[in-house]
């Protein structure tokens, strides 16, 4: 029987960490089914979903857990590989605005109030070319309940975007 393990790791950035984290999985005969790795400040952050038989998952978990004794913060959680609810439709939101306090919270609150599940949320703050103004880019993959009137949802989201001065797109994912 296959088991799944979520591994979250944080450590000071240095070369080779992505390879190191994925090697630990393969060294224990586990497959990395999904992953997210990024640099946040001076810290390298990785989240991995491992798949393997019970013995291999347990062995890999012990190897990742041992990293806590070094310069790593590690958390592990067993999970399942359950697909998204079949009564939901996938959409993608992309937005750019001048960065400001509470923007991400307001967007996520809007989605929560509409019972929309967030599959992934990625934000990036950067300085605009030429002006140096601090900008915010938001990318969100969501699952909209099939019973939702999408035109009404788009209109309500457009109103929120006008209030927050967001330049955005709201598109169905077709692949």
Q: What is the pLDDT of residue 156?
A: 98
Q: What is the pLDDT of residue 69?
A: 85
pLDDT tens, position by position, 82-104: 765 568 999 999 999 999 999 99
pLDDT tens, position by position, 25-35: 999 999 999 99
Domains and CATH numbers, the chain: 2-79 (3.30.70.260), 88-172 (3.30.70.260)
**Averaged pLDDT, 10-23:** 95
pLDDT tens, position by position, 68-84: 988 899 999 999 987 65
Q: What is the pLDDT of residue 175?
A: 76
pLDDT exceeding 70 applies to what percent of the chain?
Answer: 98
pTM given for the model? 0.82
Q: Is the CB of residue 77 less than 8 Å from the CB of residue 6?
A: yes
Q: What is the pLDDT of residue 83?
A: 64
Q: What is the pLDDT of residue 1?
A: 85
pLDDT tens, position by position, 128-169: 999 999 999 999 999 999 999 999 999 999 999 999 999 999
């Amino acid at each position: 029987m296959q088991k799944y393990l979520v591994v979250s790791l944080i450590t000071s950035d240095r070369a080779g960490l992505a390879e190191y984290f994925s090697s630990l999985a393969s060294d224990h005969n586990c497959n990395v089914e999904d992953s997210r790795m990024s640099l946040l400040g001076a810290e390298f952050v990785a989240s991995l979903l491992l798949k393997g038989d019970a013995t291999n998952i347990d062995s890999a978990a012990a190897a990742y857990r041992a990293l806590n004794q070094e310069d790593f913060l590690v958390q592990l959680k067993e999970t399942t590989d359950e697909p998204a609810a079949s009564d939901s439709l996938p959409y993608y939101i992309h937005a750019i605005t001048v960065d400001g306090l509470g923007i991400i919270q307001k967007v996520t609150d809007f989605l929560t109030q509409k019972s929309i599940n967030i599959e992934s949320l990625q934000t990036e703050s950067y300085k605009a070319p030429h002006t140096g103004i601090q900008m915010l880019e938001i990318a969100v993959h969501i699952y909209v309940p099939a019973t939702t009137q999408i035109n009404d949802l788009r209109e309500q989201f457009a109103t929120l975007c006008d209030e927050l001065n967001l330049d955005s797109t709201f598109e169905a994912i077709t692949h």
